[in-house]
């Protein structure tokens, strides 16, 4: 016997679910990001949400392993993608002989992480990624292109953001020069948290792992360098003759030239040596974008250069550079701080209201309007005319077309401009022209 007990409707925490009026804004923003990718000639890619577990687990490790949704179906060990980069690596390795290099791809899709859900952190979220992959080599100008993509996206979204750029070889080089190569990972991890833990705690942390006082001070001082490229490079270039350090200086100088060639305004980017982005993944250029009005936000975009994208899947060297925006988190930040751009809350341009037995004429009229790229909807519910008009007004629809038996007989319809309450008696063609002229 079936139970009559009702199930309480609820959803899992950490999964965003928006009301339609905000979903429209979300989708409009996502479309603007896609527009930037498209006009910069990146190719779209849509990889599966599910992968063989050995594919995703090969490159993860550490805390990420604990966050991966991992299960068994039949004889197959499966996992849900936790980012878009590992599926890209698998795709490139599988299709290396048919791809044109450098391979420029973008992907906008959901990823899944089984971490503790909290404000600003989601278990299901959209990422917007763009990567440029080379075969054996990839010119440094590709790094500048990814920086420019971030600039163009935030310009398109009308968000005031500044891209902070660095090169990991700078700090790595000084660490090597001072004789701490065996502690490089620990040192970079501490310096990566400098803004969160403060100078005093960073200094203590460095000393605790055996870094000399003077060297700890030098590492922190270098990591705090931020400003104009020319100014900062002149300040730091004399600090070391280490080959890795000088490689970082040379790459930053070359990158700076490309960024200027892209005509990115100088107040939209800076050199920030403290940008490190984790321990081992990135190998050269790194960058993160921050909100100018809300510097308390953590980064709202990031990326960098990596030497070998698909080392776990092929012996071929596939260097790359990429950028990523955690779009769900970005949207949540903007929504929380009332920073969302205004957007129509209802998708219709015209609502058609039948009066009497005119529903067939209304459906035909709606079809004709849609053929002219006018978003038209017939309100065919059983409420009164006054209620339907009030509903159209509440939905902020620009126009209403009223179709009664007299309109059917004369071929002229009552077009009501909802913004200024004006009414016009127009033919179908005149209605189309009036609405499209708006």
pTM of the model: 0.90
The pLDDT confidence band at residue 430, using thresholds 50, 70 and 90, is: very high
CATH 3.30.310.50 fits 13-29+42-148+300-345, yes or no: no
Give the confidence band of 204 by pLDDT, cuts at 50, 70, 90. Answer: very high
Task: Answer whether residue 345 shows pLDDT above 80.
Answer: no
- Each residue's pLDDT tens digit, 258-313: 999 999 999 999 999 999 987 577 899 999 999 998 888 889 999 999 988 888 89
CATH number of 160-291: 3.30.930.10
CA atoms of 398 and 351, how far apart (whole Å): 9
Please report which confidence band the pLDDT of residue 64 belongs to, taking 50, 70 and 90 as the band edges: low
Give the count of alpha carbons within 13 A of 214, CB side only: 1
Dist CA 64 CA 82 (whole Å)? 8
Q: What is the pLDDT of residues 144-169, one digit of tens each?
A: 999 999 999 999 999 999 999 999 99
Cα 217–chain centre separation:
36
Using a pLDDT cut of 90, give the percent of the chain over it: 81
Mean pLDDT of 366-377: 96
Residue ranges of the chain that CATH labels 3.30.930.10? 13-29+42-148+300-345, 160-291
**Angle separating helix axes 20-39 and 327-336, nearest 10 degrees:** 130
- Average of per-residue pLDDT across 99-110: 97
Percent of the chain predicted with pLDDT > 70: 97
Predicted confidence (pLDDT) at residue 206 exceeds the cutoff of 70: yes
CATH fold for the domain made of 350-436? Rossmann fold (3.40.50)
Q: Could you report the per-residue pLDDT of 396-420, keeping only the tens digit for each?
A: 899 999 999 999 999 999 999 998 8
Within the chain, all domains assigned CATH 3.40.50.800 are found at 350-436
Mean pLDDT of the chain: 92
Characterise 357 by phi-psi region: left (phi > 0), alpha (psi -120 to 50), beta (else): beta
């Amino acid at each position: 016997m079936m139970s009559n007990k009702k199930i309480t409707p609820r959803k899992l925490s950490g999964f965003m679910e928006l009301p339609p009026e905000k979903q429209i804004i979300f989708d409009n923003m996502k479309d603007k990001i896609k527009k930037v990718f498209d006009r910069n000639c990146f190719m779209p890619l849509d990889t599966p949400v599910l992968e063989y577990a050995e594919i995703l687990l090969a490159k993860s490790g550490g805390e990420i392993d604990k966050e991966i949704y991992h299960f068994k179906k039949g004889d197959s060990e499966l996992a849900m993608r936790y980012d878009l980069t590992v599926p890209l690596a698998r795709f490139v390795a599988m299709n290396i002989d048919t791809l044109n290099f450098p391979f420029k791809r973008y992907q906008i899709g959901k990823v899944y992480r089984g971490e503790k859900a909290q404000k600003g952190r989601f278990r299901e979220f959209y990422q917007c990624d763009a990567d440029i992959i080379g075969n054996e080599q990839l010119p440094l100008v590709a790094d500048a292109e990814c920086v420019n993509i971030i600039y163009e996206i935030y310009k398109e979204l009308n968000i005031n953001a500044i891209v902070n750029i660095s090169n990991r070889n700078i700090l790595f080089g000084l660490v090597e020069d001072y004789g701490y190569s065996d502690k490089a990972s620990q040192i970079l991890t501490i310096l990566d948290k400098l803004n969160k833990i403060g100078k005093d705690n960073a200094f203590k942390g460095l000393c605790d792992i055996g870094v000399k006082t003077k060297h700890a001070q030098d590492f922190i001082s270098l990591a705090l360098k931020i400003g104009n490229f020319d100014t900062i490079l002149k300040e730091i270039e004399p600090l070391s003759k280490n080959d890795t350090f000088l490689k970082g200086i040379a790459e930053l100088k070359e990158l700076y030239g490309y960024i200027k060639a892209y005509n990115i305004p100088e107040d939209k980017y800076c050199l920030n040596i403290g940008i490190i982005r984790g321990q081992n993944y990135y190998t050269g250029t790194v960058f993160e974008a921050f909100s100018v009005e809300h510097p308390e936000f953590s980064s709202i975009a990031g990326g960098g250069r990596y030497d070998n994208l698909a080392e776990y899947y092929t012996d071929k060297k596939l260097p790359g550079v990429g950028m990523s925006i955690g779009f769900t988190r970005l949207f949540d930040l903007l929504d929380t701080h009332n920073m969302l751009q205004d957007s129509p809350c209802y998708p219709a341009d015209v609502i058609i209201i039948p009066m009497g037995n005119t529903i067939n004429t209304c459906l035909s009229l709606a079809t004709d309007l849609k053929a002219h790229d006018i978003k038209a909807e017939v309100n065919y519910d059983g409420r009164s005319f006054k209620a339907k008009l009030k509903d159209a007004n509440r939905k902020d629809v620009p126009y209403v077309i009223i179709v009664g038996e007299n309109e059917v007989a004369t071929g002229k319809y009552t077009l009501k401009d909802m913004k200024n309450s004006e009414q016009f008696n127009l033919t179908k063609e005149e209605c189309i022209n009036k609405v499209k002229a708006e």
